[in-house]
A and B are shown apart, each in its own frame.
Chain A
Amino acid sequence: MHTDEAVNASILGEMLEGRPYRYDPIDRHGPTLYYATYPVVRAFGAHSLGDLEAWELRLVPAFLGAGLLCALALFLPAFPPPALLASALWLGVGAPFVYYGRYWIHETLLVLLTFLLLGFSWRFARTFRKGWAIAAGLAAGALLATKETSVITLACALCALVLTRLHYRPDACLQRTGFALGIALGIAAAALTSALLFSSFGQNPGGMGDALAAMAHATERAGGQGHEKPPSAYLGWLLAQNLRSRPYCGWTLAVFGLVGAWSAWQRRREEPLPVFMGLFALLVLAVYSAIPYKTPWLILNALAPWALVAGTGFNRVCAACTGRLRVTLMFALASGITGLLASETWRLCFVFPADPGNPLAYSPTSPDIRRLEARAEGLVAEGGAQAPIVAVVGSDIWPLPWYLRHCPNVGYWPELPRSPVVTVVISDAAQSERVSRTLGPGWRSEIFGLRPEVLAVLFHRAPAESGIERKRP
């Protein structure tokens, strides 16, 4: 479990124990992921953090990723079926989508809601049906209540819309009565949805105000806070050769995307949506690249709409032929792209998922933590009915709360507590010397890795001191 997943799991654990979600503008993202997951884990019988299993949590992003593929249908007929099927290859098999599609973090949900917002809006623009406008409003409200970066998504979509309209003059749609009413209904639905979610369905009315206050903190966080990367970082992660695989997803998206962008530009006066999608993707990429704070999963917000543009490129390449030759070319290209994407995905997502050389593995949890988990559980089991108290000391200890969730008496302190008496201590590296001094002689220590360059030390009484014959975990 990645650190961010472990943090999310502890929040969900509180909800399962009966404490309602409270939005915290400093430390938490929006509530939609937790509300989406809550019924799933309850269906599996979970009532606390200790009852949760990783696969149960990860079912949610897996289904959301599948939903992303289904949402492609909303863009018919602006994107013809071959283009959408090709887009589905990148979204369904591409390494970034598969990798983060099994991370229980907010990004896949954010991308799905973006697609739903754009798709419903597109449907509304074509039909002026109020139902589509309300659906788009619901998606926008949920989007806002998912993550603070949704503001970037909405701002980029608005800019892309303005730029697209410079080249595309639709029939006087603005004069139609249904349009204004639809817009008003959509905005109302968005406001109501986000208010309901941020206020925890009325249990925390202050959450709505906190959501606005969060913008100030989000702006501060955009400065980096230890995640500063150069503007070229996203392109580097996508396109540069890495230790573990060739970047097939990035390069195929780049090549077919450029063909698609050129094709969309040629037809900008007849069909505006591909142009909009290309501009939207590029704007999102530009904004995220300009912001010093960078984590690789943020790039999904640009890659997903760009996959549609690449699908257009795929369709354009195949359109160079006609008849059976076209079908043959389509099949051959799709097979080739799938093979390349699958080989990269296999290596990055299944062979080296937590390897420091994997560009998608951002501060991954070290496999060594499994040993620490087993060691701590073994020491606790030796205590018998009187389960020993496990003290976790320090600030840089994530994702330990997830891995120690089955230990009955575990507590977290900034410094080693004088009382109660502890029998197992896990300390972050910075505190380890002080902890060792405080514990005094008779304690044995073992070193474990939590994340790359983040080490923890487990202290337990040496056998001679404890008088208990220790078993190996």
Chain B
Amino acid sequence: MTRALLRAAFLAIAGLSLGLPRAAHAEDLVPLKLDLPRPMFVGTPVPVGLPNLEAPRAGRRPDFMVPKGVVNLALNKKVTSSDMEPVLGDLTLITDGEKAGDEGNYVELGKGKQWVQIDLTKACKLYAIVVWHFHSQARAYKAVAVQVSNDPDFATGVETLFNSDDQNVLGFGAGKDPTYIETYEGRIIDAKGDSARYVRLYSAGNTTSEMNHYIEVEVYGLP
């Protein structure tokens, strides 16, 4: 009996000690505010309600909660890429803050598997990564993967946050995340509070061409 009471008391104390900070943390969360560009396409029929393809939403996107005080750490940060001589545009466009889908606002990387990497200059706690590949046409990008690491070569300590590469083109294993149609809202990827200095995004062409495009990447975290 005494042992049972002691166990109950211990569990209650443990629960409080774990639960209270969580409750306090949840209260500190706020919706992620994004400055969205103008929509570029309307009326194009796109696949809807399919297994392992993301169903389009009716109405506005649900709020994505992040801790108070997060900012876009990627703004104007240095970008490197597997294709350092893009076909169109230049890599600075990826972090210049401009998300409009018009010509001149995106960088086009070569055919097949390509990546871009953002150096946040120091390791930070990351909560959301938002990517706009190309949103003036209904299209889906193939083998989209997002990784974070403190190793600029992504050889060690790599955390994969998103992987829609179900054919394992990238070699990270078959991805389980859904393929999605690009829109002006961009894609929010949960960074789960991981601490990292480098963010790397992969793709391998799209449903329209073999090229890879980026309009903007934003990385939200605590500075």
Contact = CB atoms under 8 A, between A and B. Distances in A.
Interface of A: 243, 354-357, 366-368, 396, 428-430, 432-433, 436-437, 441, 443-449, 451-453, 455, 457, 472
A444 B139 contact: no
Nearest to A354: B209
B206 A455 contact: no
A448 B179 CA distance: 11
10 contacts: A356-B208, A432-B47, A436-B51, A441-B51, A447-B140, A448-B207, A449-B208, A453-B138, A453-B139, A457-B47
B206 A449 contact: yes
A448 to B, nearest CB: 6
Given A457-B50, A472-B167, A447 B207 contact: yes
B137 A432 contact: no
A122 B206 CA distance: 52
Give chain B's interface residue range (CB within 8 Å of chain A).
20 to 34
A452 B208 contact: yes
B27 interface: no
A455 B207 contact: yes
Most buried by B among A354, A429, A449: A449
Nearest to A443: B51
B11 interface: no
A366 B207 contact: yes
A357 B136 CA distance: 12
Interface in B27-78: 41, 44-53
Contacts of B139: 449, 452-453, 455
Contacts of B166: 446
A87 to B, nearest CB: 33
Contacts of A457: 47, 50, 53
Contacts, number: 84
Given A445-B53, A455-B139, A472-B167, 9 more contacts: A243-B88, A356-B209, A367-B205, A436-B51, A445-B51, A447-B53, A449-B206, A455-B138, A455-B181
B50 A433 contact: yes
Residue from B47, B51, B53 whose CB has the most chain A CB atoms within 10 Å: B47
A41 to B, nearest CB: 29
Contacts of B47: 429, 432-433, 445, 447, 455, 457
Contacts of A367: 205, 209-210
A417 to B, nearest CB: 19
A453 B41 contact: yes
Nearest to A451: B208
Interface in B185-213: 205-211
Contacts of A432: 47-50
B185 to A, nearest CB: 18
A430 B207 contact: no
B103 interface: yes
Contacts of A355: 209, 211
B46 A368 contact: no
- Going nearest first, the 8 A-B pairs with the smallest beta carbon separation are A449-B207, A432-B47, A429-B45, A430-B45, A433-B49, A445-B50, A433-B48, A457-B47
B6 to A, nearest CB: 47
Contact of B137 (A243, A430, A446, A453): A453
A221 to B, nearest CB: 22
B103 A243 contact: yes
A393 to B, nearest CB: 12
B209 A366 contact: yes
Q: Which of A356, A396, A472 has the most CB of B within 10 A?
A: A356
Most-contacted residue by chain A among B44, B45, B181 (CB, 10 A): B45
Nearest to B47: A432
Interface string B115-144: 000000000000000000000011110100
A452 B209 CA distance: 8
Contacts of A441: 51
Contacts of A453: 41, 44, 137-139, 208
A368 B51 contact: no
Contacts of A428: 45
Contacts of A354: 209
A254 B130 CA distance: 47
Which among A357, A368, A428 has the greatest number of chain B C-beta atoms within 10 A?
A: A368
A450 to B, nearest CB: 8
Contacts of A452: 137, 139, 208
Nearest to A368: B207
Given A453-B137, A455-B138, A368 B208 contact: yes
Contacts of A449: 139-140, 206-208
